[in-house]
Every structure is written in structure tokens, then in C-alpha cells.
Amino acid sequence: MWNVVIIRRTNEKTMRQNNFLGLYQRGLYGGSRFVWNIDTLRIIIRGFFQFHRSGRKLPLHLIAPHLRSLIREHVKCEVCVWDDHYHNWAADHFDLICARWVRLPSIRAVLLKLHEYSVIAYLVSTTQASYHSLHDDGMMSDMFYRAINLEMTRMRSLHPNCSANSLPAVPRPSPVPVFGYCFNCGVGLSDKVDFNFIPRCCCLSDHCGGGSGGDDICLCSYCFDDFLDD
């Protein structure tokens, strides 16, 4: 009897602590499927173009784990920022309970979304189809269609060489422990190399989500030299 009371009180306390998670909170029992929204779908679209269509042109299965980690950071930012302030206590709590209580997509779910958009992008680039016609034909959801339109509008509005909405590069495997990765090329940064911090882009205002924000980015020495040459 006492064990039941203790377990029930513990569960109630845990649920009160997790209320700040909102729609990202997992249930007490069973699986909790991730709820995709326009912002997280835009990370998928942006990652597809940045890492698969350009740059290193990585296969989708190598992109998926990285995009999942970026979606995790987006969710963390969403639930830990309110009244335009980032609450460190909420961020610490988020990290402690994330594995058990936070709804996040699996790598397989991210990969499925990448494949879904890959088919859409292929049809648009190789046939007479457009995003609008594919949507009207029922080949994509309303949410995916709105996310694509927002991303296309964003891309058209960027100034030359704008890095405002660039995602951090996919990390490259490193044989030695690293403290972080170069934002531009993904190479590991250890204590034996220089850390070069620069503003992400001069056009940015302070905001969170999807890899954009007013924070600085860290570059390896090679990318930093390229930046100075430009």
C-alpha cells in the first residue's frame, strides 16, 4: 500500500516538474510519437539542400543523425525560452530529463522525412510538376507545403553569401577527443588548435531555432583564413 502511494506521489511530482515541456512531453506509459511542425520540417528542408545538394553532398543516412541533434536543440530552445529570455534552470532540467520525458524524433523518423522531401525535390527538378501542383495532387501535406514555401521565400530574401540561417556542418569523425566542431566544415576542434569566433552574420537579430540566431560561430583556422580572404 505504501509503495503504491510513494510511486503515485513520485509520478505526480515528476509530471509537475515536466509541465514546461508542453506538447513535447512524453506520456507516463507507452510510446510518444514526435509531433512535427513547420519549424522542424524547415530544418529537414534546409539540411537537405545544405548537406545533400551542396557542400560535401552527403548521403541522407549520414545527415539524419546530425539533423536529429539540431531538432533536439530547437526543441530545447522552444521550451526554455519565454518572455524573450533563455532560462538556464529550464535548460539544465531539460538535459536531465530529455532521454525519458521529451518527445524527439528517432533517426529513422528524420531519415523518412529526408526521403520524403527528396522525392518531392526530384519530381520538381525533373518533371513539369511544381510544389503547388504536388500539393494539390495530395502528394504532400499542408504543413510540409507551408514549410517549403517559407524556406523558398527565405532563400530568395537572403543577401549574397548570407549565413544567417546556415546549419552547423555535419561533424567529421575524429580520432582524438574534441571540444567542438568547426561550424563551416565540421572538423573536430581539440585543445591543440585555435578557436576562432566570428559573428554568424551581420544581418541577424537575436532569436532561436533551426540553426539561426545572433550568437557567434566557431571556425577552424583553415576556414577562418578563408573567411578573412573573402
Domain residue extents for the chain: 2-157, 180-229
- Give whichever of 26-30, 189-193, 211-215 has the largest mean pLDDT: 189-193
Retrieve residue 38's grid coordinates. Answer: 513547420
Identify the residue with better confidence: 5 or 103.
103
What three-state secondary structure class fits 109? helix
Please give the pLDDT value at position 23.
Answer: 82
Place 213 in a pLDDT band, splitting at 50, 70 and 90: very low
Q: What percent of the chain stands above pLDDT 70?
A: 86
Average pLDDT on 190-196 reads 81
pLDDT, tens digit, 9 for 90 and up, residues 10-62: 444 444 455 778 888 887 766 678 989 999 999 999 999 999 998 889 999 99
Identify the residue with better confidence: 206 or 123.
123
Residue of 134, 108, 107, 137 whose CA lies nearest to 119: 134
Separation between Cα atoms, residue 112 and residue 69, nearest integer Å:
16
Average pLDDT, the chain: 84
Alpha-carbon Rg for the chain in angstroms? 20
- Tell me: pLDDT of 212 over 90: no
Identify the residue with better confidence: 208 or 221.
221
Whether 68 and 60 have beta carbons less than 8 Å apart is answered as no
Place 8 in a pLDDT band, splitting at 50, 70 and 90: very low
Please give the pLDDT value at position 204.
Answer: 64
Please give the pLDDT value at position 6.
Answer: 35
Burial of 211 per CB tally in 10 Å (0-12, 13-18, 19+): buried
The DSSP annotation for 22-55 comes to GGGBPPSSS-------HHHHHHHHHHIIIIIIST
pLDDT, tens digit, 9 for 90 and up, residues 78-122: 988 887 788 888 888 899 888 888 999 999 999 999 999 999 999
Average pLDDT on 208-217 reads 56
Average pLDDT on 205-210 reads 46
Separation between Cα atoms, residue 42 and residue 180, nearest integer Å:
24
- Tell me: pLDDT of 2 over 60: no
Average pLDDT on 151-175 reads 87
Q: Match 585555435 to its residue by C-alpha cell.
A: 194
Residue of 121, 101, 221 whose CA lies nearest to 229: 221
Whether 17 and 126 have beta carbons less than 8 Å apart is answered as no
Residue of 91, 95, 112, 92 whose CA lies nearest to 44: 112
